[in-house]
Structure 1
Amino acid sequence: MLRNAPFARARWIGLSGVVIALDQISKLCMLAHFHRMESLAITPFFNLFLVFNPGASFSLLADAGGWQKWFFIALALGVSLWLLMLLRQHAQERLFPAAISLVLGGALGNVIDRLRLDAVVDFLDFHLAGHHFPAFNVADSAISIGVALMLIHQFRHQETP
């Protein structure tokens, strides 16, 4: 366990900051070098493919008419505040605050896109035998890894009745 709580919290907030920075840098590079819907094959199963998603995961509510931008911003900020409270309570642990930090950084990275561009920049495109997984980004990856770590933490700390 980490002994110094303020240092521990700063460390986890720093991890969120790294996620945000990597996410935004990768998106800025894509925006500087690609046009919307432009694709570059990297491997037989992976492309860089610039798309803008005004919706949520898997383009949920992408065609909702614009109100979803503010809904997803409010949702992400609300979840981020809750995650910060959890981080404060669990800062001296290891796995759970790492998970929280990844989700927090990913959520805020996508909020930045929604505020700047009215949509989230996605560009990682994996495919196999003509079937494409929906494009995603570094923030989405951090959120997914963070949620997986939260589940691992939950299974490890599950109390038996």
Structure 2
Amino acid sequence: MRILFRWTVIIFALDQVTKWLVLSWLDLANRGEIDVLPPILNLRMAWNYGINFGLLQGHSDTARQVLIAVALGIVAFVLWWAWREKLKPLGMACAGVLIGGALGNVVDRMVYGAVADFLNMSCCGIENPYAFNVADVAIFAGALGLVFFADGKKGS
């Protein structure tokens, strides 16, 4: 479990530091957009009141609280499951990456009322209209990693 907690802290800190840099240092909330390596990497401010890709948008306090509760429920389940299955180190790391990302977005919802998304990547003539953040990447990567590396020590 130590590996899980280590990765949770690393991802959570990386997510929060990048959001602080973008919101406070670069003032992206007011600037709106900054081209970094167009079109491959751009910073585009977007407040996500829903889930991935803005699905289930809800600007009410109730919607925000439900999304926070769901995320915390998922975190609790993944913690319990990783502990119960006694995942191998790579599986624990993946679980920690997912949890760190989920907690990063929970903090956004609590502090800002929405998730701060700011990374925008396009390539090969295809313009991506969506923005995301480090937490979103971590949630996706952690979940994908668990699909491939979730074998526990029980059956081994």
| Fold in common (TM above 0.5) | yes
Q: Secondary structure at the match of 1:123?
A: strand
Alignment partner, residue 141 of structure 1: 137
Q: Secondary structure at the match of 2:132?
A: coil
Q: Secondary structure at the match of 1:131?
A: coil
Residues matched between the structures, number: 148
Q: How far off is 1:92 after superposition?
A: 5.5
Q: 1:47 aligned to 2:39? A: no
Aligned 8 A contact 1:20 1:105 in 2: yes
Moved more, 120-129 or 103-112: 120-129
CA deviation digits over 1:32-67, x for unaligned, max 9? Answer: 122436111111221011221111100012245443
Q: How far off is 1:153 after superposition?
A: 2.5
Report the TM-score when normalising by structure 1: 0.83
Q: 1:29 aligned to 2:24? A: no
Paired amino acid for 2:90: L
Report the TM-score when normalising by structure 2: 0.85
CA distance in 2, matches of 1:131, 1:18: 31
Moved more, 140-149 or 61-70: 61-70
Unaligned runs of 5+ in 1: 1-8
CA distance in 2, matches of 1:61, 1:137: 18
Structure 1 runs of 4+ aligned residues shifted over 3 Å read 63-66
Paired amino acid for 1:61: L
What pairs up with 1:1-161 in 2 under 5 angstroms? 9-32=1-24, 33-36=26-29, 38-44=32-38, 45-63=40-58, 65-91=60-86, 93-128=88-123, 129=125, 131-153=127-149
Q: How far off is 1:133 after superposition?
A: 4.8
Q: How far off is 1:130 after superposition?
A: 5.2
Percentage identity across aligned positions? Answer: 30
Unaligned runs of 5+ in 2: none
